[in-house]
Amino acid sequence: MAGAFPLSDDTVKALAPCNLPFLRRDPFVRSSSSLSISELPPSLQDLVRRLYDTLLRIYSSFVQKRHVDHSHLLHLLGETGWHDLLNELRNISLEQRDSTLSQVIHDVRGGSLQALVLQLQLLELAQHQPVDTERIYLLTRDHLKIMRNCLPDLDPVRTARDIELREHGVDLLLEKWQQADYRLPDGTASVIVDARYNGVVADRCVEFSALDRVLYNLVNNATRHSADQRVMIGIFPILECESPSLRLVVANRIDPVQHSALVQRFGQQWSDLFRGGFTFSSGGQEGHGFGLAICAELVANAYGLSNGAAAINGGYVGARPHGDLFVAWAHWPIAAP
């Protein structure tokens, strides 16, 4: 929806440098924020495989993305012990011996899964709407890809397909985000997208699913903290870059208490949120803050930077206040080789 973004074009352009060096020389075939399934603790390996297999069965239940037998789907949830599985996932600690392991666990139980959990709960309570069926399909599809992005050898056959050359365009972002009624267990938002680019973003599914991890983390964060239950996404081409890029900007309104907590912790250097270690809650407590840190690592990987800190320092990712808005951004190279 052109013109829907709350920042002017000049303000968006001034958020970060427009000439962002592109240092990656190899095709994007694996995310840096990923592990082998064998690197997970044995009990966690079993839990992750059970989750993946359950999501595959849900995904396979759809004849087309808008058609599924709801009674069959409800039976499947009972048969697979869906609620017990979710309880086990919630009990996994993010405090792990290795930061990459913590990031992988975060996105395996985060990503699009939390929104999917709520959609399936509405189905169980007979409170779903016709449009929710397609959303269940899209959220399930996305999380399967996110899980393979985190753990490539979880499903070697499908991962091999993810690496094949195949164009992925902005339309695949719009189909799930444009005017979406996005619901999480701890937040709900209406999502509006203002896309100024309609071409190819990535030429491999593995790269597009890494971008999905970035956007889900940004939108999940915005949804949880939106003061007016609205989230706005802007997709802007930055053609001055060494490699043409997209500037993905996610904005949400915050209340004075949130604003004060952020200023007290970061001053005006809100981009430091992408270093992790801070999560705002109504009580002001700090948490892990893994979501934005994962965004920084994934963007660094896409551009061939050394680490997430380099992405923050170079303006590839960042955040700042704009009036009563919290504005976060991330860049992604367009169809990089």
Model confidence over 137-161: pLDDT tens digits?
A: 999 999 999 999 999 999 999 999 9
The predicted pLDDT at position 68 comes to: 93
Q: Which structure tokens are listed for 144?
A: 């399967």
pLDDT tens per residue, range 7-57:
999 999 999 999 899 999 999 999 999 999 999 999 999 999 999 999 999
Torsion of CA 95, 99, 101, 107, to 10 degrees: 90
pLDDT tens per residue, range 101-116:
999 999 999 999 999 9
Average pLDDT score over the chain:
93
Q: Which structure tokens are listed for 314?
A: 């170079």
**Residue 274 clears pLDDT 70, i.e. is over it:** yes
Torsion of CA 297, 303, 306, 310, to 10 degrees: -70
Alpha-carbon gap, residue 233 to 219, rounded angstroms = 8
Residue 121 three-state SS:
helix
The amino acid at 331: H
The predicted pLDDT at position 284 comes to: 43
**Residue 283 clears pLDDT 50, i.e. is over it:** no
Alpha-carbon gap, residue 32 to 299, rounded angstroms = 10
What average pLDDT score do residues 247-269 get? 95
CATH fold of the domain at 9-333:
Heat Shock Protein 90 (3.30.565)
> What percent of the chain has pLDDT above 70?
96
- Look at residues 123, 133, 158 and name the one whose alpha carbon lies nearest to residue 52: 158
